[in-house]
């Protein structure tokens, strides 16, 4: 089993990081709300950022094995920055907009728009959620790199 993990570590380790962070969010949500919300296992947002952890664990492992001067590490690093920027910037802004639109739709007299479901509001991350996710990813990357 450990041989398979090490043979495919660039796939298995980031996927495991994502899975355990999402599982943590699911359990934390269950404890705090007393409700089981399976959408937390696949959903975006929350502390810590699994997106950041995945890309930084991958970039760290690549940097350790191929060197930080390798083209593949450069690609992984830039990819990690784009993902983290998106998580804290674009997707967070979209979540804020969703929250405002949901309030407009729910307010009587402001809108006559009929919707079947609310827009998802927790899409992105705060900078600290991204930082903590990146820190976890770097630590895991060093452990398995």
Q: Name which of 20, 1, 87 is nearest 51 in CA terms.
A: 87
**Does residue 126 register a pLDDT over 90?**
no
Q: What angle do CA 75, 66, 128 make, to 5 degrees?
A: 55
pLDDT for 122: 63
pTM of the model: 0.78
pLDDT for 3: 77
Q: Which of 26-40, 58-72, 84-98, 129-143 has the lowest mean pLDDT?
A: 84-98
pLDDT for 6: 76
pLDDT for 106: 75
Say which residue, 80 or 115, is predicted with more confidence: 80
Q: What is the mean pLDDT of the chain?
A: 85
Is 124 buried (19+), middle (13-18) or exposed (0-12) by CB count in 10 A?
Answer: buried
How far is the C-alpha of 92 from the C-alpha of 79, rounded, in Å?
A: 18
pLDDT for 54: 97
**Confidence band, pLDDT 50/70/90 cuts, at residue 101:** confident
Say which residue, 13 or 5, is predicted with more confidence: 13
**Does residue 17 register a pLDDT over 70?**
yes
Q: How far is CA 124 from CA 46, 54, 92, 104, in A?
A: 8, 15, 4, 21
């Amino acid at each position: 089993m450990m041989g398979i993990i090490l043979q495919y570590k660039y796939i298995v380790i980031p996927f495991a990081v994502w899975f355990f962070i999402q599982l943590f969010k699911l359990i934390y949500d269950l404890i705090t709300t007393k409700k089981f919300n399976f959408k937390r296992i696949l959903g975006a947002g929350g502390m810590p950022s699994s997106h950041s952890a995945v890309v930084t664990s991958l970039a760290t492992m690549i940097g350790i094995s191929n060197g930080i001067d390798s083209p593949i590490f450069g690609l992984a690093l830039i990819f990690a920055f784009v993902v983290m920027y998106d998580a804290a910037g674009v997707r967070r802004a979209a979540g804020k907009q969703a929250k405002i639109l949901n309030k407009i739709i729910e307010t009587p007299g402001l809108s006559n728009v009929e919707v079947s479901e609310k827009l998802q509001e927790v899409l992105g991350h705060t900078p600290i959620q991204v930082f903590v996710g990146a820190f976890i990813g770097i630590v895991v990357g060093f452990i398995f790199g």
